[in-house]
Amino acid sequence: MHELRRAADRGQADHGWLQSRHSFSFAEYHDPRQMGFSDLRVINDDRVAAGQGFGRHPHRDMEIFSYVLDGALEHKDSLGTGSVIRPGDVQLMSAGRGVSHSEFNASATEPVHFLQIWIVPTERGGPPRYQQTHVSASEKRGRLRLVLSPEGGEGVLQLGQDARVYAGLFDGAEQARLTLDGARHAYVHVARGALTVNGVRLSEGDGLKVRDVGRIELSDGQGAEVLVFDLRAGALSR
């Protein structure tokens, strides 16, 4: 089964310095039909004005990762981590029993565009930690490149949940296929451009919930950048 989530139907927040689109219920946007999908709880498409950002604030018991599309995002946290992430970088903060952080546009002149994504962890109250890696465009070109998994590994961040996240870039005749084990679910989010997923045409900001299908087939990309989430079927899905 496929369920399309159009970009235009997402929640919207206009804070002046922040323009945000919410694929699932978040903050003041609440839709009981969109409370997440399996262990995937948040996909926020954020555009932050130059020199602006999110001041220090706390989190706990959530796997939070950021994926920058344009610009540069400066991260600081209570673990003592400080970094600037740019396109190609993937940042994962496991909040565990508690961590506070800030995220600011690192540029005084240019906006930053990034995705902030939350995944519910398997266990609560664990130690907080920070991870970061870089995935080049060539590693994602015409294929789905694993960027987060429970096992982790070289160039793959270790996620505290039975979920895997892939990133890919697709144009023209480039195609890829992902086989899902058993009755796994999947969520496909198009960060930019357009492409066809299992025969469904998706454009920038669109999402596709996939249940009981067994495979994901990507084709006919037009400047497409995509994230694919391989998720548990047993978790609460809406």
Strands laid side by side in the 99-105 sheet? 53-59, 99-105, 73-77, 82-85
Give the model's pLDDT for residue 18: 97
For 10, how many CA atoms within 13 A lie in the half-sphere containing its CB?
Answer: 25
The CATH number given to whatever domain includes residue 131 is 2.60.120.10
Domain that holds residue 217: 2-231
Residue 51 lies in a domain: yes
Residue 82 lies in a domain: yes
Residue 6 lies in a domain: yes
The domain tally of the chain equals 1
Residue 173 lies in a domain: yes
Residue 237 lies in a domain: no
Q: Is this structure's pTM higher than 0.75?
A: yes
**pLDDT (tens digit, 9 = 90+) per residue, 16-37?**
999 999 999 999 999 999 999 9
Q: Which residues of 192-216 are buried (b: 16+ CB within 10 A; e: fewer)?
A: bbbbbbbeeebebbbbbbbbeeeeb
Residue 238 lies in a domain: no
Strand pairing category for 40-48 and 18-22:
antiparallel
**Which parts of the chain register pLDDT below 50?**
none
Give the model's pLDDT for residue 181: 87
Residue 147: C-alpha distances to residues 30, 59, 151, 217 (Å)? 29, 22, 11, 18
Question: Which SS3 state, helix, strand or coil, does residue 25 take?
Answer: coil
Number of helices (H), then strands (E), belonging to the chain: the values are 1, 20
Which amino acid, residue 116? Q
Residue 85 lies in a domain: yes
Residue 203 lies in a domain: yes
